[in-house]
Structure 1
Amino acid sequence: MSSTPSGLPATGSTTAPASQWRRAVRHLRSLAPAASDYRDLRRTWRGDLAAGVTVGIVALPLALAFGVSSGAGAESGLVTAIVAGFVAAVFGGSNVQVSGPTGAMVVVLGSIIAAHGTGVLAVVCLFAGLIVLAAGVLRLGRAVTYIPWPVIEGFTLGIAVIIFLQQVPAALGVAPGPSPNAALAAAEAIPTAAWPELGWSLGIVAVVAAIMLVAPRIHPRFPGSIVAIVAVSAIAAGFSLPVDTIGQLPVGLPAPTLPNADWATLAGLAGPAFAVAALAAIESLLSARVAASISDTGPYDADRELVGQGLASVAAGFFGGMPATGAIARTAVNVRSGGRTRLAAITHAVLLLLVVSFGATVVAEIPLAALAGVLMVTAFRMISIATVRTIVGSTRADAIVFGVTAIITVSFDLIYAVLIGIAAAAFFALRALARSSGVHREELPGPAEPGDERIALFRLEGALFFGAAERMLERVGDIRGIEVVIIRMSQLQILDATGAQVITELITALERRGVTVLVKGIQTQHLRLAERVGVIASLRHQNHLFDELAPAVEHARSHVRRAETSRG
């Protein structure tokens, strides 16, 4: 067998790259659609078709409303529900996820469109979709598990408030105010309202809300939103009410086109695109996780879900749509209606395509106030009073994180709200972890011996990291009248570089004062860090490192005896 100059087999240098290549290929294959996605179809296809029709009926008014609310138009909302809903169903990582335009995405897109115009929508779709797609290929799908529950619920509450406020102008029959903030825009719109438009618009909103709220009491699957839309649209058209309607829509899907942008435009949209991508990833993975918890269709693949959502946004951009995400409400309707495979979400997209192809003229007559009513009720349903009470009543830290996230979501920016909420949660978690750590002085084991009062035994427990290390330094460093210090580290669960450096500084400071330091029980997982940072090197002698307590105590007592002998 030939060998390399180092003496290793020649094939050894290629084994690792080959293995990595095979793992990469397996990972890419796992992200692609497979026949196993539909293995239960023979058993579930009837329920899937029924669920798909139900979800399509629910999704139609929402797609129209979200499109109008974003500023992109009703057509854009429908295109997104059709194209992105179909692509995400085929390529995504969940068997029951339903994707399309959502309230959270509309809030982000509204500010982007207000700043740059609707012409950038396709570029943002493509840019953000590619980012989400790359995140899935790079296996970043499980990152959503690091978002604390109070942050998620605070974000959801803030989104619900924004969606409700965004509908106030349409509910009053006027245009929104010039401010980009939803609350300010709603306040600016109120003085411009006038009769009779105000009365008719509010009446339509009231009728829609009443039907949607009563519908679940009639039957859990009663399509309250679509019935409300049909009823008020018929009344508005029959009596020629002075209210704004959706207006003319194209028949069928528009022809796909490539987005046209130069490098300067791409650079200016990089920040908004990353914000859209982050929101799309977070919301889609949260929705998929909820779907997995309420259905019996098995777990979801987080990385494949990101790939599917990324492709869905890219495809929607080519057809004039908007970035898509997994929709928690529509996904829940799918599961509760009997959806068990991807056929349900595909059916929902096909149904919406049929509506666009054969019912565009009817859809054009829907009053905007009716869509506002649908979204107001949707926003109201997004808020769970029981959840709010649970979080507020749990711990003060969780209540603060929840409130801060919600307030920043409404007042400033969604992505900043999530980031600040995570930072606040991390701060409180680290503070709790630091408080759980301890430095305790203990009595020496066994019968007391002369000179034991000049030996101090300290037990470190819990976590010794940057948030708790300083307290240990103060606790041990302030001792007086002691000749030997034993530091027990066997019960220390967490040790970082800062904690190891503080131990090194403590040992050095004590040795400089003439205090002998013995270290007992460094755990195996901490030993390499202790060696690299200098804990071992700071000891006066290598024999001052012990595995058991009894030899350490005996060694400490021998030091005290020798010191007494030298003084005598």
Structure 2
Amino acid sequence: MKTVHAGLAAARALLPGRGDYSGLRASWRSDLVAGLTVGIVALPLALAFGVSSGAGAASGLITAVVAGLVAAVFGGSHVQVSGPTGAMVVVLAPVIAAHGLGALAAVSVLAGLIVLAAGALKLGRVVTFLPWPVIEGFTVGIAAIIFLQQVPAALATDGGDSTNAVLAAVHAAGAVNAAGAGWVSTGASLGIVAVVAAVMVLAPKIHPRLPGSLVAIVLASVIAEVFALPVARIGALPTSLPAPALPVLNMEILSALVGPAATIAALAAIESLLSARVASSISDTGAYDADRELFGQGLASIASGFFGGMPATGAIARTAVNIRSGGRTRAAAITHALVLLAVVYLATSVVSRIPLAALAGVLMVTAARMVSLPTLRAVIGSTRADTIVFFVTAVITVSFDLIEAVEIGIVVAAFFALRSLVRSSGVHREEIPGPIMDGDEHIALFRLDGALFFGAAERVLERVTDIRNVDVVILRMSQLQILDATGARVITDIIQALERRGITVLIKGIQDRHLHLATKVGVIESLRHHKHLFSDLPAAVEHARSHVSRAAAARTAQTATERKKTEP
């Protein structure tokens, strides 16, 4: 019965409640203003990310509306704003290129189910194990890919068949030379990109809350219309939300898309939780629920797939705008989705005339802003190991695969952490405390420090067992912080090796948290006598001296016996 109640309580924790809007009565005005502001900022980004992914501007807009609304209601953060993001575009574009636009709904639903299951299984805190250099390298790599993905649109040329952003950008740049009459179109596109970039850079200097991306889009569109520039436009957009439809899922589709869906799900979980964590740190609206955030983001991607949209994640840029604009409750993110919904029904004819080059300019500036120079200097100036982890993650992100980049970055970071832990651990021979007594030279006192685990165990074994001309070895374990099964087994091997040579081993100060493991692995059993386990050093030294005295007496007696045998 208790299990049933616990299960029901866990399920209720993942669902919306009245507490989600506890501060709405006091903050509804600022929430509405913040939602309107975020909606204005999100419009060009939603369109741009949809185009850049290959799904189309309509898909980006639908994702921002549907996923933004669902994630706002069901997510675990009060101020998170969700929708299409640059990281998702990076991983989604190759999937659409390989499997076609028809796979979009299926991969969105599959990825959403995986993220939803992760939330139900309470895996939300896993993201806290990601090292900082890995996160920053991942972010820089994504920014580079987003920027490079816009090169074909900015040059009004074709990026070729490659799904690699670097190769596509190189192909697009090479295609300019063969464009011939297309130089006019290329020049017009580059001009629009320059206008957009200039407006987005200057707008915050004029007024902090001026929506630079929207102003830039409007200005670029007006210029393109007035001068009839030969540039590609977004094209026709739906004037209403499409009817929801179940995606086609059969064994063939599942086998082809389960891998990409898992990759998208992992990316969605990582980005959403990182965004929620940052939002929690820069606002005073309370902590976020990591498991509920995954649950809500999973539902958002599923709902987006039903309407023909893309997988969604939490968007740190839009979330930050929401917080800075006064957003305090989920009503702000809900308002943002409703503002974009109004665009779908009221302004698609105007939006359809936006030049694709303008969207490319928005994303290029957005990508540049993702890279924080102070953060880069902090990472690169920290340690050599962290610098290597950062660059490895960034390079692999750009060159190969996002999730592989995170995995390899974690492995490299773990390697350096392990090496550092090995270096911090060790074994040191100490002087016996107190006045020196006869026979103390036959006692070796070793202090085990730091961590004794599989990475450092062999070095400790060699250091201790190489000891010579001693009768007793005292192992001080009170300073040992980490002990694993391999380390405990090495201590057992040390004791057995020394005892075989007639050297008595005493253990002093084994911690209670290590005692169970040491007993299981055989450390205590390997001691010559159960009284060779001590809790304080003076008692261990006194006992060692008694062993040395007996050993000295035995050696004296043996010498006398051998002398008598040699006498005539």
* TM-score class normalised by the smaller sequence: over 0.9
Conserved 8 A contact 1:87-1:311: yes
Give the whole-Å Cα distance in 1 for the aligned partners of 2:255 and 2:186: 43
Give the whole-Å Cα distance in 2 for the aligned partners of 1:539 and 1:216: 73
1:352 Cα deviation after fit: 0.4
Segments of structure 1 that go 5 or more residues without pairing to the other structure are 1-17
Equivalent residues in 2 for 1:206-221, closer than 5 Å:
206-221=194-209
Counterpart among 114, 123, 130 of residue 113 in structure 2: 130
Conserved 8 A contact 1:177-1:187: no
Counterpart among 406, 414, 422 of residue 426 in structure 1: 414
1:438 Cα deviation after fit: 2.3
Conserved 8 A contact 1:501-1:533: yes
1:72 aligned partner: 55
- Give the 3-state SS of the residue equivalent to 2:491 in structure 1: helix
- Give the 3-state SS of the residue equivalent to 1:462 in structure 2: strand
1:186 and 2:169 matched: yes
1:524 aligned partner: 512
Across the aligned residues of Structure 1 and Structure 2, the Cα RMSD in angstroms comes to: 0.9
- Give the 3-state SS of the residue equivalent to 1:466 in structure 2: coil
1:167 and 2:150 matched: yes
Give the whole-Å Cα distance in 1 for the aligned partners of 2:503 and 2:265: 58
1:102 aligned partner: 85
Equivalent residues in 2 for 1:462-473, closer than 5 Å:
462-473=450-461
* Range that drifts further, 476-485 or 165-174: 476-485
Give the whole-Å Cα distance in 1 for the aligned partners of 2:240 and 2:59: 12
1:40 aligned partner: 23
Conserved 8 A contact 2:158-2:171: no
* Code of the aligned partner of 1:77: G
* Range that drifts further, 163-172 or 501-510: 501-510
Equivalent residues in 2 for 1:259-298, closer than 5 Å:
259-298=247-286
- Give the 3-state SS of the residue equivalent to 2:478 in structure 1: strand
Give the whole-Å Cα distance in 2 for the aligned partners of 1:320 and 1:129: 14
Counterpart among 352, 356, 378 of residue 344 in structure 2: 356
1:468 Cα deviation after fit: 1.4
1:27 aligned partner: 10
Conserved 8 A contact 1:178-1:188: no
Equivalent residues in 2 for 1:72-471, closer than 5 Å:
72-193=55-176, 194-471=182-459
1:3 aligned partner: none
- Give the 3-state SS of the residue equivalent to 1:233 in structure 2: helix
* Range that drifts further, 354-363 or 370-379: 354-363
* Range that drifts further, 48-57 or 549-558: 549-558
Segments of structure 2 that go 5 or more residues without pairing to the other structure are 177-181, 557-568
* Code of the aligned partner of 1:201: S
Per the normalisation by structure 1, the TM-score is: 0.96
Counterpart among 550, 554, 564 of residue 538 in structure 2: 550
* Code of the aligned partner of 2:414: A
* Code of the aligned partner of 1:42: R
1:299 Cα deviation after fit: 0.7
Conserved 8 A contact 2:27-2:329: yes
Give the whole-Å Cα distance in 2 for the aligned partners of 1:251 and 1:493: 65
- Give the 3-state SS of the residue equivalent to 2:70 in structure 1: helix
Give the whole-Å Cα distance in 2 for the aligned partners of 1:366 and 1:477: 77
Counterpart among 28, 32, 38 of residue 49 in structure 1: 32
Conserved 8 A contact 2:134-2:409: yes
In the TM superposition, structure 1's runs of 4+ consecutive aligned residues that sit over 6 Å from their partners are none
1:450 Cα deviation after fit: 1.3
1:422 Cα deviation after fit: 1.0
2:472 aligned partner: 484
* Code of the aligned partner of 2:27: T
1:522 Cα deviation after fit: 1.1
Give the whole-Å Cα distance in 2 for the aligned partners of 1:502 and 1:268: 48
1:511 and 2:499 matched: yes
- Give the 3-state SS of the residue equivalent to 1:445 in structure 2: coil
Give the whole-Å Cα distance in 1 for the aligned partners of 2:555 and 2:33: 94
1:559 Cα deviation after fit: 1.2
Give the whole-Å Cα distance in 2 for the aligned partners of 1:566 and 1:400: 59
